[in-house]
Homo-oligomer: A and B are copies of this chain.
Amino acid sequence: MATRKGRPKRIETDQESARQSLIDAARQSFAQEGFEKVSIRKIAQVAGVDAAMIRYYFGSKAGLFEATVQETLAPVIAQFQTTIDPQVPLNPLRLMQAYYRMIAATPMLPKLIQQVLNQQDSPEAFAILSASVDNIIKRSENWIKAFTQHNQINPNLNPDWIRLSFISLMVFPILAPKYIQNKLGVEVNEDWLMALAEHNQTLLEEGLFTFSNQSPNDNNDRREP
């Protein structure tokens, strides 16, 4: 931004502060290319700022990642947590919708989360995430237990894995590689995500077929007896 050295004159236009520009550029770059692949020089260039500003504001590249993830996740997770607030029992559809609204508002979130979860860098961000995950897991345990006790869950399923199934349906579409997303007609925006939530719920409730207990084999399938 600043063309010459020294502290820039205060200007009252709406251009972002250098710090914020860096966070924005970092969020974008880290999500797209991953922590290792992007250089601080590239990020600084995208932000239109000298690379030394990263040290000034965040201490290091890792610090920038930390701050980026935290400032991106924190508000959105907080919002998410209130949406599924503990006063109201956990409802899978509502959980999924809350999650999808969160994603729609910040599309690069999934990739960022994936990175935090994979490379254990950024302990702060990891703490935020794992706390949220633990919360959901914990509450879903009660949910499943209640349903199991009332024999409402299909006895042919492994009850330990229905959370896995639920999360698979919920998360994979928005986490899949772009190539796969294109092949499968994935389009991450609010409308599409809300429709997918309905689709997923219907699938979980009713199954894939018109007539239950019908095998999904091909018409002329010849399987071993």
Residues of A within 8 A of B (CB): 34, 36-37, 88-94, 114, 117-118, 130, 133-134, 137, 143, 146-147, 151-158, 160-165, 167-169, 171-173, 175-180, 183-186, 195-196, 199-223
Contact = CB atoms under 8 A, between A and B. Distances in A.
A161 B196 contact: yes
Contact of A207 (B37, B154, B173, B223): B154
Contacts of A89: 217-221
Kindly report how many copies of this chain are found in the complex they form together.
2
A89 B216 CA distance: 12
Contacts of A220: 89
B199 A204 contact: no
B184 A167 contact: yes
Given A36-B37, A161-B185, A177-B114, A212 B216 contact: no
B155 A216 contact: no
Contacts of A185: 160-161, 164
A112 to B, nearest CB: 12
Nearest to A90: B218
27 contacts: A89-B217, A91-B217, A117-B177, A118-B177, A146-B218, A147-B216, A152-B211, A152-B214, A154-B209, A154-B210, A156-B202, A157-B202, A157-B203, A158-B195, A161-B184, A162-B203, A164-B173, A164-B184, A168-B169, A168-B172, A168-B173, A169-B169, A205-B207, A205-B208, A205-B215, A206-B212, A207-B207
